[in-house]
Amino acid sequence: MNKSLKYIAIISLLSGCAAFDDDWPNLADPMPKPPERSQVEGRPGGDVVVIAPRDTKSLTAEETRNAFGALKSSLAKEWIAYGAATAKLKEETDDETALMNWSGAQLALSRVSSNIGTIQDLTLSNFNISVGDDALLLEDIKHYVRGEEARLNIARKQLMSVKP
């Protein structure tokens, strides 16, 4: 009985696959690129807005410098939002509210992580990094990202330690 079920399953699978022969992907096709991260752009007045994703390899040194400044500002706002979310964790509430507050803090920390990743993408820029200020800018970005990643890892550990 068990052997016959295997054969029936195999025959059903093969007949189902044969019926949809035009829909199979071509394995020789290149893998699709993952979606690019959104970038932010500074506006007069200090507002930061999300703009459509674009290829960071086409950014000039000046565009990279401007994007880095805007992204740092956006990241600072996300850290403030995370601080506000973690402050709610200290409030005495019932279990369901505590779990909702913890989930909110986790979501805020995810946004922080996403912003750090977007800043890190700036290091992929294809401008001439072999000359003075441009090379220093790239090193400044890398150093900033390392510091923020360390801060993020500490925040993750602290958040996991207070999980309800």
Could you tell me which residue, 67 or 48, shows the higher pLDDT?
Answer: 67
Contact 78, 115 (CB under 8 A): yes
C-alpha distances in angstroms, 146 versus 58, 72, 120, 142, 153? Answer: 24, 13, 9, 6, 11
Assign 18 a pLDDT band (cuts: 50, 70, 90): low
Per-residue pLDDT at 47 exceeds 90: no
pLDDT digits (tens, 9 = 90+) for 132-158: 667 788 888 889 999 999 999 999 999
Name the β-bridge partners of 40. Answer: 50
Taking residue 124's Cβ as centre, other Cβ atoms within 10 Å add up to: 12
CA dihedral defined by 106, 39, 123, 132, rounded to 10 degrees? -130
Per-residue pLDDT, 28? 66
**Pairwise CA distance, residues 33 & 50, whole Å:** 21
Question: Tokens in use for 5?
Answer: 């079920």
Per-residue pLDDT, 154? 95
Per-residue pLDDT, 94? 85
**Pairwise CA distance, residues 60 & 4, whole Å:** 66
Per-residue pLDDT, 139? 85
Could you tell me which residue, 112 or 8, shows the higher pLDDT?
Answer: 112
pLDDT digits (tens, 9 = 90+) for 59-117: 777 888 888 899 999 999 999 999 999 998 888 788 888 889 899 999 999 999 999 99
Per-residue pLDDT at 48 exceeds 90: no
